[in-house]
Each structure stands twice: as structure tokens, then as C-alpha cells.
Amino acid sequence: MKPTTIALISSAIVATFGIGYLVYFDQKRRTDPNFKKQLKRERKKASKAAKVSQEKELVTVEALVKNVLEIINKENFPETPEAKEAYFMEQVSMGETLCGQGEAYYEQSVEPFYKALRVYPAPLELIMLYQKTLPEKVFRIVVNIMALEQQKRQAEFYNHFPPPELGVKFQELPVESDKPVRGLTATKDFAVEDVLYTETPFIAALHPQLETTHCNYCMRVLDEENKVECSNCDQVEFCSTQCEQAGSQNYHVFMCTNNKLEPSTVATEFSNYTKATNLKYPQMIAQFLSIMVADEAKKNQDSVMVADEAKKNKDSEKASTYTAWDHIERFNAGKELVPTEESAHEIKLIKALLASKVPGIDEFLSDDIYLLLKSKLNKNSYEVPTNEDILIEKSNEPTRVLYTEKQGLGSAIYKISSYIVPSELEEANVSISYDKTNVITVTAIKDIQSGQQIKAFYQ
Ligand SMILES: *[C@@H]1O[C@H](CO)[C@@H](O)[C@H](O)[C@H]1NC(C)=O
Ligand SMILES: *[C@@H]1O[C@H](CO)[C@@H](O)[C@H](O)[C@H]1NC(C)=O
Ligand SMILES: [Zn+2]
Ligand SMILES: [Zn+2]
């Protein structure tokens, strides 16, 4: 990769993080009673002063925003990085020319500036630049359009995920708490013994004490003849070259101790810590942060491929535009956690581990974000069961246990199956089963009608 590509990718990640971060805090603020009061007071003050002039502006701006959104909807944006760059330059220079002609042309400049923003790989970075360089009015309208589009994209999430052809969807459950809880509901009939779907984990962490006896990626027991060691460290091994490639690309490259080359003390410290405590969620959090970076790099690759391959299926394309953060953010919330010495130590270790590879990690991984990730992972992960007789020290981290009589190989969280709510044994209508790896098969154990909730037995 060229250094400039890397720079663009990294700032795009900061941007994605940034948006998730803003959304998260925005939500928090909205539910905080003190903040609400304060907000009300501020609003009153502001509204008195600004009412008249704003109302006037709003009418004209509303029409403009609507118009730009319509144009954007119809626009065929370029796909390849080269074409995007050319398009970007063209739009920015058009916007600048218009602005240069005086205030009467400001509104017209919104469209090209917004189009440029749409193709730029690091939108938040560009927004910051816009804030410094564009006339205030133009800037405010551009930000408004961006927020509207983001809202729309987020609102569409549940139409695209899970992919409708699976016959299941996420549905809000009636609960008496301020946080919505979603479960999984059938959208078609399934007969007993039908396989609803199989699913690979979104994030998974092998029990740290089982490294080098089990595949770091799929958790299969290693076969001495065919196993593949990481080429840079002797800490993890994989069952096949496929798993080695997938594991390395998705996360291990970010977490490798490199002890065969130039050992990294921070990576060793992290790995020593998880081994000693036998905890899986610190690994899962580090993995999640790595996946976000890898995701972004892949998206840039994909955009080149899509252009070559002609147009892919529109729906699956849309489902894949949601980031790892979009998924994590939607998982049902767990217990609210408070910072402890332990969490402070874990944050320090993860920051050190990822500092050179995930730009912005230092600002991003605050106590709040870390505890939010930890609580969601603990709430939504399954313990991957095994029939083998293995001896591992139990850690007391909470996880869903499907088979209490079996040992666990590690923890895994699934984009769809983590929404399956627990039930009593006789109420369950699906079983979640594993066949030697962390890949899940969800099978109907009763007839399920469209509209019925999908429940499994676990503790
Ligand atoms: C990690 O653990 C190994 C073995 O216990 C020890 O030799 C090494 O010094 C530790 N490294 C760090 C950085 O903590
Ligand atoms: C499937 O489980 C749900 C929730 O427990 C239940 O309401 C439904 O009746 C079950 N379906 C069958 C066919 O038992
Ligand atoms: Zn494997
Ligand atoms: Zn390695």
C-alpha cells in the first residue's frame, strides 16, 4: 500500500469511530435528566434571540436540502479510487468557484461541496477542513445534509440485516425498560429439523490457555501434521492456511507478538495478561478494534472489485456497507459497568498494543467506550462447547452456556444468533449446535410459524 492510501484509510477509521462515538454520547445525553433540563434552558434562551431570523432561513434551506438529497440519490458516484479522486477535485473546485463569486452563490455551492464529501474516504476529516474554510452558512447546510443521510442509512439497517432471504428478522420485544431489547423472529415457516442458517462468528476468542493446541481462528483441535504456525510468532497456530490467512488479515496482524522477528514487549504483555487471567473479552475488544481497521481496508479493496465485476446484488451490497461498529452498537445492552483498577489496566494494555496500528485509539478508547464494549460482549457471547476432555482454569467472566456439562473452548459473538433470547428447555424451538469449530448451526426443534419468536435454551 502507498503511504497516502494508508493515511486516508486511517483517517476514515477515525471518522467511523467518531460517528459511533457521537451517536453513543448523543443517546446518553438525551436520556440524562440533568442534561435535559440544561438543554431546555439553553434552548429557550437561544430560541428567543434567533427565532425570527432562523425561521426565514429555514424555509429556503429546507427546500435546498431536499433538492440536494434528491440529486445525490440519483447521482452515479464513481467507484474506483482514481475516479473518486478526479471527481472529488472537480466538485471541490466547482464549489470554490461558486463561493468565490459572492454570497448570492453560496447556496449553489452546497451541492458540489456535498458531492465531494460523499466520495472522500475520510468524511469527518474533510468536515473539519470545511469548518475552517467554508462560509459558515454553507458549512451548516452541508453538515445538516450529512446528518440526514446518516439517519436514513441507520434507519434502513433492519431492512437489510439480517438478509431478508434467511427468513428471520430482529424485532423489538415488549419490555419495561428505557433500553429497547431486540430478539429474533421468523418471517417464514420452518418445519422441525429445518436448518435456519449457519453462521460464523463476528468476533471470537479462543481460551488463552488453549493457544497452540487449537486453531486461533476456528477453534478446531490442531492436527500436528497439518497445522500452520503464525509466521511471525510462536504464540498462535491455525488448522489450515485458510484459517491462518483469515485470522491474520482480520485481527492477528494487529495483535501478534512478533517474537520470531523483533519481539514486541507490549504485545507480549497483553498476551501474558490474558493467559494469566484467562479472560477472553480483552482479546475480543482488541479484535473488534482491529476488525474495524481491517474492515475499512477491505472496503477500499471491494470498491475496486465491484467496479470490475459490474454491479453486484444491490441488497447484499447494502448489507455489507454496515460497519463493525454499526453491529456492536445495536447489540442488546448488558449491565452498566463502572471503571475499576482492572479495567484501567486492560485499557492501558490494549492502547499500547494497538497504538501504532490503529490511529486515534488513544482518544477513542475511553473508559466509557471500553466498558460499553465489555458489557455488550459479556451479554451477547456464547461459550463454544467441546466434547474433548480438556483442563482449563475457569474465569468468572459471564457468557452464555448452551451445554452446562461440556467444557468451553472460548467465546464467540454472532451478528444474528446473539439476538436469540433464552427460554426454558421445553419452550425452546431452535437448537444451537457446533461441530468441532466455532461455526454455529441453528436448527428448528419444533415447527416455527412466521411471526413467532425464536428461542433457544441456554444459561
Ligand atoms: C511474559 O511471560 C513470560 C513467561 O512467563 C516472561 O518470560 C516474560 O518476561 C513476560 N513478558 C512480559 C513483557 O511481561
Ligand atoms: C416457539 O417459541 C415461542 C417462544 O417461546 C413460542 O411462543 C412458540 O409457541 C414456539 N413455537 C412452537 C411451535 O412451539
Ligand atoms: Zn481453523
Ligand atoms: Zn503472530
pLDDT value for 129: 79
pLDDT value for 135: 87
pLDDT value for 6: 35
How far is 254 from 374, CA to CA, in rounded Å?
19
Q: How far is the CA of 252 from the centre of ligand 3 (A)?
A: 13
Q: How far is the CA of 402 from the centre of ligand 2 (A)?
A: 19
pLDDT value for 134: 87
Which of 39-43, 69-73, 264-268, 276-280 has the weakest average pLDDT? 39-43
- CATH topology assigned to domain 50-153: Mitochondrial Import Receptor Subunit Tom20; Chain A (1.20.960)
pLDDT value for 391: 78
Signed CA dihedral, 408, 411, 416, 418: sign only: positive
Assign 171 to helix, strand or coil: strand
Confidence of residue 49 (pLDDT cuts 50, 70, 90): low
CA 74 to chain centre: 28
Q: What mean pLDDT comes out for the span 353-376?
A: 84
pLDDT value for 402: 93
How far is 371 from 365, CA to CA, in rounded Å?
9
Q: Between 5 and 355, whose confidence is greater?
A: 355
How far is 447 from 429, CA to CA, in rounded Å?
7
How far is 262 from 273, CA to CA, in rounded Å?
20
pLDDT value for 307: 37
How far is 358 from 352, CA to CA, in rounded Å?
10
- The answer to whether the beta carbons of residues 432 and 402 sit under 8 Å apart is yes
pLDDT value for 221: 95
189 lines ligand 2 (CB under 6 A): no
Q: Between 296 and 249, whose confidence is greater?
A: 249
Assign 214 to helix, strand or coil: strand
Query: Strand ranges (DSSP E) for 261-359?
Result: none
pLDDT value for 457: 95
Single out the residue of 94, 388, 109 nearest to residue 222, CA to CA. 388
How far is 150 from 19, CA to CA, in rounded Å?
9
Asked if pLDDT for residue 51 goes beyond 60, the answer is no
How far is 337 from 341, CA to CA, in rounded Å?
13
Percent of the chain with pLDDT over 70: 79
Q: What is the pLDDT of residues 427-447, one digit of tens each?
A: 899 999 999 999 999 999 999
- The answer to whether the beta carbons of residues 237 and 249 sit under 8 Å apart is no
Q: What mean pLDDT comes out for the span 170-176?
A: 84
Alpha carbon nearest to ligand 1 atom 5, residue = 272
> In this structure, which amino acid lies at residue 407?
Q
C-alpha separations of 257 from 38, 163, 260, 315, 376 in Å: 49, 37, 8, 39, 27
Alpha carbon nearest to ligand 1 atom 3, residue = 272
Percent of the chain with pLDDT over 90: 45
Q: How far is the CA of 453 from the centre of ligand 2 (A)?
A: 7
pLDDT value for 358: 75
| Pairing assessment for the beta strands 421-422 and 455-456 based on DSSP bridges | parallel
Average confidence score pLDDT of the chain: 82
Alpha carbon nearest to ligand 1 atom 1, residue = 272
pLDDT value for 315: 47
Alpha carbon nearest to ligand 2 atom 1, residue = 429
Q: What mean pLDDT comes out for the span 215-223?
A: 96
Q: What angle do CA 409, 415, 419 make, to 5 degrees?
A: 90
Asked if pLDDT for residue 319 goes beyond 80, the answer is no
pLDDT value for 8: 37
207 lines ligand 2 (CB under 6 A): no
Q: Which helix (H) or strand (E) holds 206?
A: strand 203-206
Alpha carbon nearest to ligand 2 atom 4, residue = 453
How far is 329 from 180, CA to CA, in rounded Å?
12
Q: What is the pLDDT of residues 399-417, one digit of tens each?
A: 999 998 888 999 999 999 9
How far is 161 from 168, CA to CA, in rounded Å?
9
Residue identified by cell 427565532 is 51
Q: What is the pLDDT of residues 99-129, one digit of tens each?
A: 999 999 999 999 999 999 888 876 766 777 7
Ligand 1 site residues (CB inside 6 A) read 265, 268-269, 272
Query: Strand ranges (DSSP E) for 221-267?
Result: 228-229, 237-238
pLDDT value for 112: 95
pLDDT value for 11: 40
- The answer to whether the beta carbons of residues 373 and 427 sit under 8 Å apart is no
